């Protein structure tokens, strides 16, 4: 029957905790891992429950009342006190969004439970007023019976009016019996509600004390959080220094690689110089031979220079002699021309003598 009248209206997953009953301070895990946590609605009783099952074990069975409050204690953790179960439940979610949805649903269900309670009280008041009215009507009917006589007398005297009055009287008796039964029922439920209110008041007082404790714990956690935040800032500064050191190390590594590359190049050059050093003796011998040849060539060059100087002197002397010879030759040619002219004149003279003869 419970499975039929109760239906899930919201489901999520969370880690379930309960407050340590001995210390009322520490949380005790109720599940080893995240489990399903659901809101159930009982349409017959108009009640709401939070139920969670881990395997075959029921770890949450909490009926929501208007006096309950769901409190967010962190970005992913919330709690509520259940006076009937005499405990405090805590839920750890994987995200802040899931916690917000669960808290909103809790508030919605809480308002619905409050509305159902108000309707129930209105029904109790209506039934009580109806019972009082029925009680007031019954004595008048009795008085009517006393005045008019007993039922037997009315029957003996007979008449339609008496029969109608008897029928109405029977109906009133049945209504009075039902009203009395309803009054007893509502008195029992009222007593139950009073006891529930007393338990809720006690739970509220415990919750208030727990809130004070949680406030102190919150302040302590806040102080610890500030310390951790300062520590995180210090660690971030250290991380920045480490990052700078890493960057310097990276630069040094690149510089080291460059130096290694340069060293390899230098080693190659050194190897080439070593290979060239092996042929240096041969080059030295060749250099000595070339030096000797150069000395011989210089000596020959010096001799040739001396010969050139001598030849130049001779050329100068030859030029001088040629100049003299040219002068003498010119003089000779002049003399020769004179002699030729004289010879020509002499020939002409001879020709004239021949003609004359």
Q: What percent of the chain has pLDDT over 90?
A: 31
Nearest to 211 by CA among 25, 16, 21: 25
Res 226: pLDDT: 87
- Look up residue 164 and give its two tokens: 């109608």
Distance (Å, whole) CA 22 – CA 20: 6
Spatial neighbors of 43 by CB under 8 A, at least 6 apart, are 5, 6, 7
Res 155: pLDDT: 41
In order of 52, 324, 332, 357, the CA distances from 296 in angstroms are: 118, 41, 51, 85
β strands within the chain, DSSP E: 6-19, 27-29, 35-42, 47-54, 57-63, 71-72, 77-82, 87-92
Tell me phi and psi for residue 88, to 5 degrees. Answer: -125, 125
Q: What are the pLDDT digits (tens) for 251-262?
A: 998 999 999 999
Banded pLDDT at 16 (limits 50, 70, 90): very high
Res 309: pLDDT: 92
**Number of CB atoms found within 10 A of residue 24's CB:** 13
Distance (Å, whole) CA 321 – CA 95: 128
- CA dihedral angle for residue 321, residue 325, residue 328, residue 332, rounded to 10 degrees: 170
CB distance 44 to 91 below 8 Å: no
For residue 213, pLDDT over 90 is answered with no
Distance (Å, whole) CA 245 – CA 338: 117
Average pLDDT, the chain: 81
Banded pLDDT at 43 (limits 50, 70, 90): confident
CB distance 62 to 52 below 8 Å: no
Res 154: pLDDT: 39
Res 254: pLDDT: 93
Distance (Å, whole) CA 53 – CA 5: 19
Q: What are the pLDDT digits (tens) for 124-158?
A: 767 666 555 555 544 444 433 433 344 444 344 44
């Amino acid at each position: 029957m419970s499975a039929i009248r109760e239906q899930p209206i919201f489901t999520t997953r969370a880690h379930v905790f309960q407050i340590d009953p001995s210390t009322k301070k520490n949380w005790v895990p109720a599940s080893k891992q995240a489990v399903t946590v659901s809101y159930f609605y009982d349409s017959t009783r108009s009640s709401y429950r939070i139920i969670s099952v881990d395997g075959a074990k029921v770890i949450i069975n909490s009926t929501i009342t208007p006096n309950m409050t769901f409190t967010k204690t962190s970005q992913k953790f919330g709690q509520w006190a259940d006076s009937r179960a005499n405990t405090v439940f805590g839920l750890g979610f994987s995200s802040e969004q899931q916690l917000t949805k669960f808290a909103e649903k809790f508030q919605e269900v809480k308002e619905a439970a409050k509305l159902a309670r108000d309707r129930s009280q209105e029904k109790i008041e209506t039934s009580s007023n109806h019972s009082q009215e029925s009680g007031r009507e019954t004595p008048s009917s009795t008085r009517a019976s006393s005045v008019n006589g007993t039922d037997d007398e009315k029957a003996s005297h007979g008449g339609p009016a008496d029969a109608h009055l008897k029928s109405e009287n029977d109906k009133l008796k049945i209504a009075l019996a039902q009203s009395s039964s309803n009054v007893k029922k509502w008195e029992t439920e009222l007593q139950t509600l009073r006891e529930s209110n007393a338990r809720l008041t006690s739970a509220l007082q415990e919750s208030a004390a727990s809130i004070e404790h949680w406030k102190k714990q919150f302040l302590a956690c806040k102080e610890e959080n500030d310390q951790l935040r300062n520590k995180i800032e210090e660690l971030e500064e250290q991380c920045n220094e480490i990052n700078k050191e890493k960057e310097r190390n990276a630069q040094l590594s690149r510089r080291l690689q460059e130096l290694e590359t340069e060293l390899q190049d230098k080693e190659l050059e050194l190897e080439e110089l070593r290979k060239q050093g092996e042929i240096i003796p041969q080059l030295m011998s060749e250099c000595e031979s070339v030096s000797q040849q150069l000395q011989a060539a210089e000596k020959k060059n010096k001799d040739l220079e001396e010969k050139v100087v001598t030849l130049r002197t001779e050329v100068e002397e030859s030029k001088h002699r040629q100049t003299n010879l040219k002068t003498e030759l010119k003089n000779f040619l002049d003399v020769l021309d004179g002699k030729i002219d004289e010879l020509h004149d002499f020939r002409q003279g001879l020709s004239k003598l021949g003609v004359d003869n």
